[in-house]
Structures are given as structure tokens and as C-alpha cells.
């Protein structure tokens, strides 16, 4: 499959984050031990946006989110969240700052009940907020309320994904990052999860999403980036990238 690249003699548009940017990645270099995956990556997410990051397998999408969450070593550049240099923080400090990550593997506590998993997500919050947070999560995903006593490991893939997102929401994030939330789900469940992400944004939470299903991601995104070989090669609104012939050929099967 071909990948989109800038037209000969051109380069991606310069990185000009708006004044209301909540999350900024500037000239970011990151990777694993001596293997650098991200090579000077730039992107920004404004308050209240849904921004998607699409690209081929191995392009650096997951590494980007893991770097933002403090799970990958940053060797150059910076990650700013609400003005704070989160690339200098430990993962639990990143969460306390309001930046919460939902991993692709969901990382649930399989032998714990739904309610116990959700309560674990609120570890950084005052106990006085837990009841209200649970009500918000149950409103978002009613199936979790119905199965609150069920062990996470016995749930379907779609229910586990809802639980992973719900647990992240228990931390009351300002910004939520999601890595492949639709992976392995049936089409009807994909629609439910993406609809819930839209509701999360409507509640005031900013969202950065990595999604292999490019058409679905672009459809719900205010803006989007295409990453190739650890760097951004295209940027635009969700609609603009959905209509871009390079994106359509490489990621939308057109």
C-alpha cells in the first residue's frame, strides 16, 4: 500500500499552534532504548478538539501517545500540556495533570469487577468525587452499570473497551488520548464507541485519538495528522484529509 507524501519540492505546512492549544508536541524525538521512532514530530491539539493521528503500522502512532503519557523516553524536543512540560514528568504525574491515556491493550485488571476497575481509575481524585464520576461513566456506558459486579476478564471486547475508557474518565481528564479504540470490535460496537468519544468531547474533554480505521476517525475529528516514518507529513481538517487523494489511496481504500 502506498503512503501519502508531500508533493515534490514541498513540505508539510509549518507548525503554528493556535493560542488556545492545550497539548503541543514540538520537534519531538522519542523511542525505545537506542531506537528512535519519532524524528522531530510536531502537532498540537486545541482545547475542545478531537484530533486524530493516522498512519501505517510502524509509523509511530502508538509511540507518540506513549510519549505523551510518559511511557516512552523523550530524547529531544518537548511536550507541553496546558503550559507544563509533561515530558519531564512521571506517568502518574501526567495523569494528575489531567492528561489520561487509554492503551490499545486496555490494560484492565481482569480478575477485578467492573466497579473495582472504575474505582481504580479514580485513584488520583478525592473520594468525594467518585460517586459523581461513576454516575457520569454509567450514563456514558449504561452496560457498565448493569454489569458492575462482573469480572472484567469475562466481558466481551467491546465491553472491555468501554470499561477502559470509563476507567480513564474516572480520573476526570482535561485531555484523553486513545490508542486504537475500535480495534477488534464489531461494526456496531465501533459506532457506539466513537459516538461515546463524541459525547466525551461535548462534555468538555479534549481528545487525541490514534485509529487504524481512518475513515471513522476522520469523520469524528475536527483536525487530523498523517504520520509517516516518525514525522508528520500531512495536516488538515478531518474533511480535508478525507478528501485528499493521497489519504484516500493509502488509508481509505479508494
Fold of the domain built from segment(s) 21-251: Rossmann fold (3.40.50)
Residue 234, C-alpha cell as written in the block = 500531512
Q: Is the dihedral of CA 183, 189, 191, 194 positive or negative?
A: negative
Nearest to 121 by CA among 104, 108, 111: 108
Q: What is the pLDDT of residues 133-158, one digit of tens each?
A: 999 999 999 999 999 999 999 999 88
Write down the residue that cell numbers 461494526 correspond to. Answer: 187
DSSP category for residue 13: P
In this structure, are residues 225 and 53 in contact, taking their beta carbons and an 8 Å threshold? yes
Q: Hey, where are the domains in the chain?
A: 21-251
Cβ atoms within 10 Å, residue 154: 11
Distance (Å, whole) CA 168 – CA 178:
10
pTM recorded for the entire structure = 0.88
Q: Give the SS3 label for residue 117.
A: helix
Residues in a beta bridge with 32: 35
pLDDT confidence of 164, banded at 50, 70, 90?
A: very high
Q: What is the pLDDT of residues 5-59, one digit of tens each?
A: 444 333 334 334 445 899 999 999 999 988 999 999 999 999 999 999 999 989 9
Amino acid at each position: 500500500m502506498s503512503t501519502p507524501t508531500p508533493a515534490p519540492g514541498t513540505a508539510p505546512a509549518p507548525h503554528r499552534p493556535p493560542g488556545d492549544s492545550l497539548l503541543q508536541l514540538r520537534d519531538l524525538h522519542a523511542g525505545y532504548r537506542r531506537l528512535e521512532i519519532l524524528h522531530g514530530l510536531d502537532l498540537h491539539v486545541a482545547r475542545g478538539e478531537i484530533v486524530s493521528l493516522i498512519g501505517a503500522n510502524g509509523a509511530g502512532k502508538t509511540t507518540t501517545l506513549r510519549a505523551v503519557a510518559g511511557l516512552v523516553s523523550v530524547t529531544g524536543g518537548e511536550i507541553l500540556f496546558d503550559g507544563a512540560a509533561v515530558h519531564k514528568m512521571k506517568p502518574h504525574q501526567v495523569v494528575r495533570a489531567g492528561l489520561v491515556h487509554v492503551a490499545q491493550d486496555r490494560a484492565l485488571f481482569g480478575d477485578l469487577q467492573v466497579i473495582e476497575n472504575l474505582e481504580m481509575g479514580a485513584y488520583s481524585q478525592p473520594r468525594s468525587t467518585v460517586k459523581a464520576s461513576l454516575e457520569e461513566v454509567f450514563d456514558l456506558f449504561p452496560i457498565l452499570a448493569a454489569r458492575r459486579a462482573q469480572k472484567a476478564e469475562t466481558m466481551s471486547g467491546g465491553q472491555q473497551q468501554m470499561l477502559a475508557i470509563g476507567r480513564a474518565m474516572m480520573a476526570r481528564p482535561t485531555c484523553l488520548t486513545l490508542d486504537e479504540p475500535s480495534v477488534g470490535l464489531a461494526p456496531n460496537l465501533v459506532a457506539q464507541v466513537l459516538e461515546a468519544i463524541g459525547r466525551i468531547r461535548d462534555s468538555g474533554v479534549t481528545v487525541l485519538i490514534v485509529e487504524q480505521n481512518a475513515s471513522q476517525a476522520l469523520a469524528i475529528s475536527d483536525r487530523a495528522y498523517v504520520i509517516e516514518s516518525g514525522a508528520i507529513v500531512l495536516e488538515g481538517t478531518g474533511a480535508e484529509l478525507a478528501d485528499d487523494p493521497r489519504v484516500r489511496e493509502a488509508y481509505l481504500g479508494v
